[in-house]
Structure 1
């Protein structure tokens, strides 16, 4: 008889799985329920779980994390994944390499039954193996199960410099961990760099994709090789450690295998990825070989979805033309927007042909390009963040120099936003000219913002905000200033009565005009006329 564990944070989903299959027919004698990773671990500590059905998306620890723990602590348990995420259909094949199966919710119960039946058969095989072997053989099998984890941890520590690379220290570490690596055995490190994902991934999605990348490497790169360390060094960096005898000197075959791996990652996981092949080295030399590959990655930034050999790139640096940012700045200032877009794209495209494009070239371009844009913003009296937004954040600029493709995307976005902002401001200036002209022509009338908005075909609220932003005044304030300026001219330069002056600037009520005039000028109309004429030496 067998024991089953169902792990899902959704109670109704657990009940559906629990009631959807006739478990007695599969010799399942007991079903345990857990709603999170902690509960599942507690059950494993109290009961011998043969088969685990586990949801991927759960609070307090994902199904991927739980499976990793189960593999380390309970290697005889067979696991089945459930998930609602149909957008990861492309990962199904890769995930099946490591787990018993990967099924989408709502699960079809006859399919689930078949998968569990297969799991029962596998568990039964393991039981038979266990009973037929001596205790020593059993523990040997457990060690074999854990050996890949120990191997990867060893290589990670070597490349991360946590493990000393002195030959004596390497020898001691291999002996203490009983790892099957000989001092005279050579290895070929291959750096796998995920340059970008088609869509931004959540933390849970990243873990799922790491699992998929690893299993795809098992299937395509290793192809049944007994030792297959695929070490994650950081977020987007992995290292495959290939034994020297794996392919011998057949470099073209290795390139073909890695090209197939890249193509599979492009197709199924929607990411751009490149592989950097290093030099052969003994175990104590792998750390320096890894450092060399990191430098190679940082200095071949114009290649994507490609296989790059260390020996090919040595000394292959090409000449980079110096760009004339002052010419591009003039283009911006003169409004030659299409020309600068074309010039920028042409220059960055030319870098694609450079054999050995160093990181410093991209960094210099980004700094000079930003300096040019900032000069233009200063010339226009604009705030950089208002124009570019998050494109000038440290995170975005750091990402922009990761590769030539990233830089082209960033430069195109920054320039397009700048041009769009410039054109919008030009349109705004044209609108302001029309508004001011309309006010000037109708200053002798009582005009409202609705009248002006109809004239320029804008919503009154939007026009008010735009006018305030462009002039620093509200429309009402501007109209008042215009009326008072004309009134002052009429009071000092003509003999019109105050009543006629009021009428000339759109006020039919003499008293109200006098009140508004005094509020604006600090004198009533008659006082202003006398003071102005006296100052000019004229008779009041």
Structure 2
């Protein structure tokens, strides 16, 4: 609906215009009247005016002055001049002030209705144009985000993987669509040194900016998408008249990797896809991600999808029985080098992938467990410390991580085996643990777990070294402490028993009598009597 303002110093003229206009036909919701410039301005200040019909000559000022004021303050209003004066200068000035028309009074009713209709149509055209301008400004400001959202929808198949569907979506979103594109997956791998969280965020933002410059240097209108904190995907146009040469792409990718290595102190890999039509983009990116997931051997490399050929031959597993025997012979560094040589051989065969690295990890761990178990060591407990677990978890990520884990686990296992070769060392640590926990519940399993040995193996070593069983050693030490407390303190016998982890007084009393020949009460009385005689 439209609001209309009629400005004329002749009240009869205003009433005549109002009477001939068909408000319903013209969709006019309100008609306002003003008889001079000041009244007209007051109306503008209070409510919106869509169309203004204005006389030129009025007592308090010219209608042309009002038109100039309206243009400056309410440019959305469509104005029409109505006047009794066929003056060329007036008409010229009205045109200069963007008046839609210059009409001489009196105006026949059908002409008046036609000019108002024309003004309303002009109003709607101007409003539509303004809305388009707003949309255009919004699209221009958000164009990168809209383009990124489009390609993410193609990758995630939110848009049906069909050429027509993708083309329609591109047209609807006003996105430039190329006949073919080359996907380039850029994956961050690691920093050269420790970086705190804030520093990492800043550096990755800088790497993204560098990546945007890199992809646009390859080809104009390229797009860079973030696929996660450590992955970017470049989509490079590959139309027939502007298809980047593979050799040029490889060189550009290698240069970008070198710049990141040099200036940002990090490693990354780039996976270069084939040129594909948009409907096949998701499948090609899936293939590139497959290459990335299986890349456990390389840092700072460009890996081209077409050039990667996995090995077909049957892999020969390493001779881990030989390695186990070599470790028993203390050939530690030789085994480490043999393992590295085997893994590097997988790289040369293009057979180094997550699956084969995981199999090696399991087999090598099994070898170490067997070696330790044969020596009576509880391997699971020995290798369950925080550092060992962290290195084991990372081992399947890359060849470098696997080598770090191999060095750690071999050195830790062999170092411990060296200590248990000295039985006295194990026995002393066992005694120390028992004495430190003599007032707690002690079992063969808990004691053996502390020194990472099999309970039966520890029992044999302890008996051979001391001549007594572990259980007898514990009982002897508890009796010695009980004798001291009974003879030299007034601690209740029940408290002495509880102090030595005997909650049952009868059981404590029976154990004490079996070891000393006296029950605790008799032992205290006898000890006190002997001490009294010594004093006398």
Please, what TM-score do these two structures have when normalized by structure 2?
Answer: 0.53
Partner of 1:364: 359
Unaligned runs of 5+ in 2: 1-129, 436-445, 452-457, 477-482, 489-509, 519-536
Shift of 1:312: 0.9
Q: Residues 434 and 524 (structure 1 numbering): CA distance in 2 closer, same or farther, change over 3 Å?
A: closer
Partner of 1:336: 331
Matched, 1:165 2:161: yes
Q: Residues 430 and 292 (structure 1 numbering): CA distance in 2 closer, same or farther, change over 3 Å?
A: same
Q: Residues 467 and 376 (structure 1 numbering): CA distance in 2 closer, same or farther, change over 3 Å?
A: closer
Query: In 2, are the aligned partners of 1:317 and 1:357 still within 8 Å (CA)?
Result: no
1:164-203 → structure 2 map (5 Å cutoff):
164-182=160-178, 185-199=179-193
Matched, 1:374 2:369: yes
Partner of 1:77: none
Q: What is the RMSD computed on CA atoms of the aligned residues?
A: 4.5
Separation of aligned partners in 1, 2:290 and 2:347: 19
1:305 to 281, 300, 317: 300
Q: Deviations over 1:241-290 (max 9, x none)?
A: 11115973522221111111111222233322111111111111100111
1:146 to 138, 142, 148: 142
Matched, 1:413 2:439: no
Partner of 2:30: none
Shift of 1:209: 3.6
Shift of 1:137: 6.1
Matched, 1:278 2:278: no
Separation of aligned partners in 1, 2:408 and 2:346: 18
Unaligned runs of 5+ in 1: 1-133, 437-448, 450-464, 486-506, 513-517, 527-540
Partner SS state of residue 402, structure 1: coil
Query: In 2, are the aligned partners of 1:388 and 1:414 still within 8 Å (CA)?
Result: no
Shift of 1:331: 3.1
2:256 to 255, 261, 271: 261
Q: Residues 469 and 434 (structure 1 numbering): CA distance in 2 closer, same or farther, change over 3 Å?
A: closer
Partner of 1:44: none
Shift of 1:136: 5.8
Query: In 2, are the aligned partners of 1:189 and 1:280 still within 8 Å (CA)?
Result: yes
Query: In 1, are the aligned partners of 2:219 and 2:244 still within 8 Å (CA)?
Result: no
Q: Deviations over 1:453-482 (max 9, x none)?
A: xxxxxxxxxxxx999955799x9x999968
Query: In 2, are the aligned partners of 1:299 and 1:356 still within 8 Å (CA)?
Result: no
Partner SS state of residue 385, structure 2: helix
Separation of aligned partners in 1, 2:283 and 2:470: 74
Query: In 1, are the aligned partners of 2:253 and 2:270 still within 8 Å (CA)?
Result: yes
Separation of aligned partners in 2, 1:361 and 1:481: 51
Partner of 1:348: 343
Separation of aligned partners in 2, 1:280 and 1:479: 73
Matched, 1:216 2:215: no
Partner of 1:228: 222
Partner SS state of residue 522, structure 1: helix
Q: Residues 402 and 237 (structure 1 numbering): CA distance in 2 closer, same or farther, change over 3 Å?
A: farther
In the comparison of the two structures, how many residue pairs are matched? Answer: 339
Decide which structure has the larger Cα Rg and report it.
2
Shift of 1:384: 2.0
Separation of aligned partners in 2, 1:268 and 1:369: 38
Q: Deviations over 1:395-414 (max 9, x none)?
A: 76554323323322333333
Shift of 1:300: 4.2
Matched, 1:322 2:314: no
Shift of 1:150: 1.7
Q: Residues 423 and 283 (structure 1 numbering): CA distance in 2 closer, same or farther, change over 3 Å?
A: same
1:402-441 → structure 2 map (5 Å cutoff):
402-426=397-421, 429-432=423-426
Query: In 2, are the aligned partners of 1:195 and 1:274 still within 8 Å (CA)?
Result: yes
Q: Residues 328 and 386 (structure 1 numbering): CA distance in 2 closer, same or farther, change over 3 Å?
A: same
Please, what TM-score do these two structures have when normalized by structure 1?
Answer: 0.52
Separation of aligned partners in 2, 1:190 and 1:219: 14
Q: Deviations over 1:159-181 (max 9, x none)?
A: 23333212232123212221111
Separation of aligned partners in 1, 2:266 and 2:180: 31
Partner of 2:66: none
